[in-house]
Amino acid sequence: MSHSSVRRPFIAGNWKMHGSVASNAALLAALKAGLAGNAAEVAVFAPYPYLDQVARLAADSRLVWGAQDVSRHDMGAYTGEVSAAMLRDFGCRYALVGHSERRGLHGESDALVAEKFSALAAVGIVPALCLGETLAERQAGETLSVVFRQLDAVLASHVPALLAYEPVWAIGTGLTASPEEAQAVHLALRAHVAKQDAAAAIGLRIVYGGSVKAGNAAALFAMPDIDGALVGGAALNADEFLAICRATNV
């Protein structure tokens, strides 16, 4: 059986800290119009203030949406934080956790990422757990030990359903892991999960992230363990993002 018949492709746009009421509306309208007939599950991860707008504009479409982060706390005196229950309250189904910009720029540890994962899972939101090594770690031959360490922090309490392998050196840099390099890590991640839960590992969607564009998407998606993409820069351009979505139809 090909991977596409076991696992529905997942293509997600991580908008990061980009957007406005006007530009979001235009982007979503273009995506909704362009997604007809596409087999992938297509998601956008929007900044918090725009989640309600995205929820309303996506409601009559097959676009799904999510948050880029969450608090590890349930409620209380945590100024500036947003809880998983708040996200769930207006229908959020997905959230990123452990994006390398959160780990690197905001000092998020593996343990904190695991706590955030648990907070999401507790309210029924699917966490998209982001993993990936830095360039120095890859050059030191530590890629697998790093991503296994990041994964193990979560596996201690949960079996994930959605992973995003994002080599830090490929995010926003124009550098992409080759399809073979990415496939090797995806295969290793799936095998690692299989040691804990073989059935879950078969259904586990592992998407690749790091400078995915229309021009390199199809070769990545042709790999048996690459189940889609988490797209940053190219997700802000409707034509480019739609072309990536169409590249899953191979």
Going residue by residue from 162 to 191, which x/- string records binding to ligand PEP, judged by CB under 6 A? ----x----xx-------------------
Judge residue 202's burial from the number of C-beta atoms within 10 Å of its C-beta, 0-12 exposed, 13-18 middle, 19 or more buried.
middle
List phi, psi (to 5°) of 131: -135, 155
Q: Interface with ligand PEP includes 247 (CB under 6 A)?
A: no
Stretch that binds ligand PEP, among 35-43, 69-77, 83-91, 203-211 (CB under 6 A): 203-211
Residue 88 and residue 203: Cα distance in Å, rounded?
A: 24
What distances in angstroms separate CA 141 from CA 12, 109, 132, one per listed residue?
Answer: 29, 21, 13
Please tell me the chain's helix, strand, coil percentages from 3-state DSSP, rounded to the nearest 5: 50, 15, 35
Query: How is residue 88 annotated by DSSP?
Result: H
Q: Interface with ligand PEP includes 233 (CB under 6 A)?
A: yes
- Per the annotation, the verdict on 166 as an active-site residue is yes
> Can you name the residues that pair with 205 across neighbouring β-strands?
162
Tokens of 91: 């229908």
CB nearer to ligand PEP: give 40 or 86: 40
Q: From the list 95, 206, 212, 245, which residue makes contact with ligand PEP (rule: CB under 6 A)?
A: 212
Residue 40 Cβ, how far from ligand PEP at the closest point, in Å?
16
- Say which residue the tokens 């309303």 belong to: 56
Among 99, 115, 133, 137, the active-site one is 99
Q: From the list 70, 220, 231, 238, which residue makes contact with ligand PEP (rule: CB under 6 A)?
A: 231
Q: Interface with ligand PEP includes 13 (CB under 6 A)?
A: no
Task: Give catalytic residue positions.
Answer: 99, 166
Q: Where on the chain is the footprint of ligand PEP (CB under 6 A)?
A: 14, 16, 166, 171-172, 209-212, 230-234
